[in-house]
Structure 1
Amino acid sequence: MNGYIVIISIVVAMGGFVYGVDSGIIATTLGHKTFAVYMFGPTATNAPLQGAIVSLYNAGQAVGTFGSGYSADRFSRRWTICVAGILATIGSALQTGAQEVGMMIAGRFVAGVACGIILSVVPVYIAEVSPPKDRGFIVGLQGLMISIGFMIANWIGYAGGFAQGDAQWRIPLAMQIPGAFLLAIGCFFIPYSPRWLIEKERYEQAQQVILRLHGDQGEDFIAQEFIQIKDQIALEKEGRSTNFLVALQKLFSRQYIRRTSTACFILSMGQLSGSTVIQNYQSIFYSTVGYTGRTSLLISGIYGFMGLFGQIAYMLFVADKWPRTRTLWTGSAFLCIMISILMALSSQYPAGTTNQSGPRAAIAFIFIYSFGYALFFNAMVWVVPVELFPFFLRSIGLGLAVFSKAVTAIVLAQITPIALQNVGWRFYALFIATNFAAAFFYFFWLPETKGKSLEDIAALFGDVLATEPLGEIQHGDEKDPNALNSTAKHVESAA
């Protein structure tokens, strides 16, 4: 694997780290009583405001997706990610200095806008610089960074419990700033996406970037890849408007609606798997089985490690080894079983129970659930959606999918505190049903995309390809040897 691709992918995947820290830090922040008293008054409880702090972050994500597709196509993936890093820094600063709950919500909203852009554009950039055979692994770097960010956020939150007064939650919130700042700075040292350069007809720059990215694949591969990308983008341009709104309408046309709905379904089901609810409201779940205060924060810190371990297992044993479809339907079935067990344990061992074996078992299965989610979904829910769209719809399409994810998260953030107060452990039944439905969909209707180039995948949905699939072109059997040879020489000279 080309080390240069890995390095620039890690730089861009800092966006995943930013998202992991931003989304993870709120779980421990809500667990600090000093924060609850400062924001909600002496009672330290206010379910609607607590839900608003979480849901406005998700609302920000939804807003961030609106302009991300246009910006990524107009100004490049690179500089769009840079702007997201700047916005994340501003949002984190607002949270750190929050003087009342409105300022806190505003900070979460701005950070959410930044993360909406990050989640829409970072997977696109990484996928467009990755070779087909390693795309699952390299795009999975974003999932790895999300896990690392979430794990670090949990331990920062736990460490905050040893501080005094408002420092318990202000210092942890300030720890969101370094990652966002590094992301913005790192964008000055990465190349443009070669597909974006080709779309802008900046061919010499594109050839130089392709040579740098895939020089280890051989001269023929580089020439073939350049020709396939160039011809496919040219074919997609024929007879279509470059207007953003027209492109948005295309997502719902008969030709692309299956891809659009599949991408939205995968990311929405990532939320309806129950992962975000368990992540954001851990302290409430732990209190239902009798663990509160600093003990709850310590359990949250250990919980963060499970996601990291699961993501590492994905990188080593699943990425580009298992078919995408098998990974997703197996994962959905696994989570369905885990949540069924959690539901049974929570019903039999409520808060205040004298038998500690039940609560301990419930926490153990929450940990196993976290490991399983990271293993099967943390990366794959980004790998598959970004593979589904042609170039001219890729940024807009993934942005719409992230928007659907954010809307789903908003609804869950608002109803979860109220549901936990009123129906308790029965709330798990929702996620049992959604995971079962997802497994059914993935098994019967999701096409397999592993190992195919982004251009080749379009053929799975009936699109016409401008050239033969890259993986099927053999050395010495090209359709236009002269064109390939001349392009190879041009790439060579561009170096």
Structure 2
Amino acid sequence: MVRKIGNPYLLTAIAVIGGGLFGFDISSMSAIIAGKQYRCYFDQSVDGSCTGPVPSVQGGIVASMAGGSWVASLFSGFLSDAIGRRRAVQSATVMWVLGCIITSAARNIPMLIVGRVFNGICVGICSAQVPVYVSEIAQPSKRGRLVGIQQWAITWGILIMFYISYGCSFVKGPAAFRIPWALQAIPAIVLCIGMIFLPESPRWLALKGRWRECEQVLVLTHGHGDEYSPWVGRELEEIKDWVDTERQSWTAGYMQLFSPRYLNRTHIGLFTQIWSQLTGVNVMMYYITFVFTMAGMTGHQLLISSSIQYIINVVMTIPALIWIDRIGRRPALLAGSTFMGIFMFATAGIFATYGTDPGPEGVDGFKEASVQVNGAASRAVIACSYLFVASFAPTWGPVSWIYPPELYPNHLRGKAVALATSGNWIFNFALGYFVPPAFVEIKWRTYLIFGIFCVLATIHVFFLFPETSGRPLEKTTEMFEDPKGIKYIGTPAWQTKNYYSESVREEHGEDLPK
């Protein structure tokens, strides 16, 4: 029998490699689409001027990965419930390796899109089920930190692959993009092997009636090998109580998520992922080279300036990993969307006031770079981009993965998070396709649209998103069902509290006041 890893940080570090794959895709595209080798090989210009795919096709290439992710995230709930969280992630890695083979060997745009769809299938499964797995295995006081590592893995994937792609930009010919796309297969292989050494989710085992295995996992991960640990006993009893109470209402389909009892939770989880995309983060990640081209950056200066943004993304995610459980989910979301909206409006104002029209061919051959600023205005645009990412990284970035798994009961969590994550990917797909033509057609007003979305997200969170930090997963129902017996109304979101302190004391065996 394979010896399983019990350290929650180590097992999380292995599981979130799945998030790193998404990051690899983001930066491999953002770095490569600016390269002459890519633009010449997939050129669609009439005169052969190496301007690359036309904006609508380029949007389709980028969006194809998200399209595959959307489909996969929806069926990932059934897959995860059937074979387990761990095996679902392992199966996804096979699709990623296959996608890397196809994209690195792509002879034309359709073949490239097919490969990216396969990559998307893997990312869709991993992005939906890795947060479920980690949240179901983590202690309440550490749950936000551990699930948030998924976002940190994404930022590291973005940074690492960006520099690999930048290094390969000096290679002549198609190898400049084939090498990075092929190297993306390596972390997927590591993930597939690493998952062999991880235990299955104890809550999934409980749902399958495998109580002895459930207890063994809790002893391994929460009891540090001590089967008489009080904390393990309490958690096992909570899981058993929940199973006994809720077994009568179990159904296997998605439709229960839209019943009166769960509709509010479904809408909150779904919009957590939707708003994370509508903040405009896609503009700042996939298409940052277009943005900085409009700000006067060219050549290798363009790629280096873009990489600074990815470094900021990695560094600024760290505060969330340290403090997100203490601070709570609501304050992070409210602050993040507020500041992101400010920087989106500021960028729109700078382009509207100081921008000039470079003509139909755009800046430096990029039609998407349809506005140009110089001097102080250029530096202001770059500063706003950096500050936007610094606002997203510790807030909506990690919390969009942390929050949805905390909202749902055990028997619905796999499918519910899959549905919520599908919201991320369908809007990722739509915005990935929308942004290049939007830069061409409505120019600086693209930023205005995202700024308005940030304001709407702030309002929505304040009135309808409750605080979940520190609560055991089995106790979140109390927030959504009125204790006086009026079902499905629950506690107003702005009146919910952070239970981090109470959960820490319970985990250390301290008695709480009655």
Q: TM-score, normalised by structure 1?
A: 0.90
Q: What's the CA shift string for 1:185-237, capped at 9, x where partnerless? A: 11111000001111111111111110011115972211110011122123222
Residue 28 of structure 1 pairs with residue 31 of structure 2: yes
Identify the residue that residue 428 of structure 2 maps to in structure 1: 409
Name the CA distance, whole Å, in 1 between partners of 2:506 and 2:245: 19
User: Structure 1's 463 and 60: CA in aligned 2 closer, same or farther, altered over 3 A?
Assistant: farther
Residue 225 of structure 1 pairs with residue 235 of structure 2: yes
Residue 319 of structure 1 pairs with residue 338 of structure 2: no
1:334 Cα deviation from its structure 2 partner: 0.8
> 19, 24, 28: which one pairs with 2:22?
19
> 425, 437, 443: which one pairs with 1:424?
443
The correspondence of residues 127-142 of structure 1 with structure 2, limited to 5 A, is: 127-142=135-150
CA contact (8 A) 1:289 1:349 kept: no
Name the CA distance, whole Å, in 2 between partners of 1:267 and 1:327: 15
CA contact (8 A) 1:27 1:283 kept: yes
Corresponding letter in the other structure for 2:454: N
CA contact (8 A) 1:157 1:297 kept: no
Task: Flag the structure with higher helix content.
Answer: 1
Aligned length: 469
User: Structure 1's 434 and 197: CA in aligned 2 closer, same or farther, altered over 3 A?
Assistant: same
1:146 Cα deviation from its structure 2 partner: 0.7
User: Structure 1's 329 and 477: CA in aligned 2 closer, same or farther, altered over 3 A?
Assistant: closer
1:441 Cα deviation from its structure 2 partner: 1.3
Residue 452 of structure 1 pairs with residue 471 of structure 2: yes
| Residue aligned with 2:470, SS | coil
Q: What's the CA shift string for 1:303-349, capped at 9, x where partnerless? A: 11010011112223x32121211110111101011111111222234
> 330, 346, 351: which one pairs with 2:351?
346
Name the CA distance, whole Å, in 1 between partners of 2:374 and 2:11: 51
Name the CA distance, whole Å, in 1 between partners of 2:250 and 2:315: 46
1:239 Cα deviation from its structure 2 partner: 4.1
Residue 379 of structure 1 pairs with residue 384 of structure 2: no
> 234, 237, 257: which one pairs with 2:244?
234
Residue 293 of structure 1 pairs with residue 305 of structure 2: no
The correspondence of residues 258-277 of structure 1 with structure 2, limited to 5 A, is: 258-277=264-283
User: Unpaired segments of 5 or more residues in structure 2?
Assistant: 359-371, 484-498
1:354 Cα deviation from its structure 2 partner: 7.7
The correspondence of residues 75-474 of structure 1 with structure 2, limited to 5 A, is: 75-216=83-224, 219-241=229-251, 243=252, 247-316=253-322, 318-350=323-355, 355-462=374-481
Name the CA distance, whole Å, in 1 between partners of 2:199 and 2:400: 25
Corresponding letter in the other structure for 2:393: A
Name the CA distance, whole Å, in 1 between partners of 2:320 and 2:31: 26
Identify the residue that residue 6 of structure 1 maps to in structure 2: 9
CA contact (8 A) 1:273 1:332 kept: yes
1:477 Cα deviation from its structure 2 partner: 8.9
Name the CA distance, whole Å, in 2 between partners of 1:22 and 1:182: 17
User: Structure 1's 230 and 165: CA in aligned 2 closer, same or farther, altered over 3 A?
Assistant: same
| Residue aligned with 1:165, SS | coil
User: Structure 1's 476 and 76: CA in aligned 2 closer, same or farther, altered over 3 A?
Assistant: same
CA contact (8 A) 1:20 1:147 kept: yes
1:9 Cα deviation from its structure 2 partner: 0.7
User: Structure 1's 354 and 460: CA in aligned 2 closer, same or farther, altered over 3 A?
Assistant: closer
Corresponding letter in the other structure for 2:93: G
CA contact (8 A) 2:96 2:118 kept: yes
User: Structure 1's 339 and 354: CA in aligned 2 closer, same or farther, altered over 3 A?
Assistant: closer
Name the CA distance, whole Å, in 2 between partners of 1:234 and 1:147: 41
Corresponding letter in the other structure for 2:343: M
1:377 Cα deviation from its structure 2 partner: 1.5
Corresponding letter in the other structure for 1:229: I
Name the CA distance, whole Å, in 1 between partners of 2:242 and 2:286: 43
Identify the residue that residue 491 of structure 1 maps to in structure 2: none
Identify the residue that residue 64 of structure 2 maps to in structure 1: 56
User: Structure 1's 361 and 473: CA in aligned 2 closer, same or farther, altered over 3 A?
Assistant: closer
Q: What's the CA shift string for 1:135-181, capped at 9, x where partnerless? A: 11111111111111111122122112211111211112122111111
User: Structure 1's 36 and 477: CA in aligned 2 closer, same or farther, altered over 3 A?
Assistant: closer
Q: What's the CA shift string for 1:108-161, capped at 9, x where partnerless? A: 101011100011100000000100011111111111111111111221221122
Identify the residue that residue 486 of structure 1 maps to in structure 2: none
CA contact (8 A) 1:349 1:359 kept: no
Corresponding letter in the other structure for 1:267: Q
CA contact (8 A) 1:152 1:304 kept: no
| Residue aligned with 2:397, SS | coil
RMSD (CA atoms): 2.3
Name the CA distance, whole Å, in 2 between partners of 1:57 and 1:251: 27
| Residue aligned with 2:321, SS | helix
User: Structure 1's 302 and 234: CA in aligned 2 closer, same or farther, altered over 3 A?
Assistant: same
CA contact (8 A) 2:26 2:158 kept: yes
CA contact (8 A) 2:268 2:464 kept: no
Q: What's the CA shift string for 1:257-289, capped at 9, x where partnerless? A: 101110110101110010012211112111212
